[in-house]
Amino acid sequence: MKSVIYETKGRAREFNELAINLFTGCGHKCIYCYGAAVTHQDKNSWENKPRPRVTLEEIEQSARQWQDKSRRILLCFVTDPYQLIEQETQLTRHVIETLHKNNLNVIILSKGGLRSMRDFDLLTPKDAYATTLTLTTDLASRKWETNAGLPLERIQALKEANKLGIETWVSFEPVIYPEQTIELLNMTHDFVGHYKVGTMNYHPQGKNTNWHDFGWRMKRALDSHKAHYYFKMDLLKEMGVNPSEFRQTWVCR
């Protein structure tokens, strides 16, 4: 049986080596979403008819194949583990329990905000909780990420995870408005373990940003807070640096 836990490639590998996509589609309706395009699916169906794509039996069998205490599984890369449909199925909770039972740990990557806090009782210091931060205002968030958790909700979830001793990190990708990204760093550096910084792919807005200048400004801001960070390869290329010569202060794993 083919494993539903898979080894990532390309850009996805800069998030984690192993992942599961629990759903086909995502009801957050982010206008920059690339999920439908990269999986060759209809965008309308992707946004309006998301559905589970794995069963607990498949998770159980795959977990046995990857059983290794040192491995963590990313939930999820091209979809969200705490979109609205998950509240009906509670699939993510059952998956976390199954992976833990098989000595595997998880990295939650979600824009679900308060919804994503439901399963914090299951997470341990061996797991991690991450969110994507893009915008500082509710108005802009509702425009760009219709059904995702609002900015302050995502930040509240990070604070709570940090209080519980769960490793936290933030994905600054996509970067929609660079000034807001730097402001989000200033708002969160006290309780975020590390940051992954990228650009904006798959949307015309990305062409409005001078990525070279943004990258170096972002590095100065991160260094001023003594924050740990990983700059993604797309951004390093725009900054004109050799990745092997750029000092990352957090090792991507």
Name residues whose C-beta falls within 8 Å of residue 247's C-beta, 6 or more positions apart in sequence: none
Torsion of CA 85, 86, 91, 95, to 10 degrees: 140
pLDDT, residue 67, reads: 86
Domain boundaries 6-245, corresponding CATH code: 3.20.20.70
| Degrees, nearest 5: CA angle 45-78-72 | 145
Sole residue written with tokens 């705490």: 82
d(CA 130, CA 253): 14
pLDDT, residue 11, reads: 80
**From the CB of residue 210, how many other CB atoms can be counted at a distance below 10 Å?**
10
Q: Give, in order, the Cα–Cα distances in Å from 253 to each of 7, 18, 70, 226, 232.
A: 12, 10, 11, 20, 13
| Degrees, nearest 5: CA angle 173-174-180 | 90
Here the tokens at position 94 are 């059952």
pLDDT, residue 88, reads: 87
In tens digits, the chain (253 residues) has pLDDT values of 679 999 998 888 888 999 999 999 999 999 999 999 989 999 999 999 999 999 999 999 999 999 876 789 999 999 999 999 998 899 999 999 999 999 999 999 999 999 999 999 999 999 999 999 999 999 999 999 999 999 999 999 999 999 999 999 999 999 999 999 999 999 999 999 999 999 998 899 999 999 999 999 999 999 999 999 999 999 999 999 999 999 999 876 5
d(CA 219, CA 214): 9
Q: Where are the domains of the chain?
A: 6-245
Q: Which of 226, 185, 219, 180 is nearest to 200 (CA)?
A: 180
Q: Look up residue 208 and give its DSSP letter.
A: G
pLDDT, residue 97, reads: 97
d(CA 146, CA 169): 23
Q: What letter represents residue 166's amino acid?
A: I
Sole residue written with tokens 């329990």: 97
DSSP, collapsed to helix, strand or coil, labels residue 253 as coil
For residues 62 and 3, is the Cβ–Cβ distance under 8 A?
A: yes
Q: Which of 32, 78, 37 is nearest to 208 (CA)?
A: 32
pLDDT, residue 253, reads: 59
User: Measured on CA atoms in the order 58, 98, 76, 237, is the torsion positive or negative?
Assistant: negative
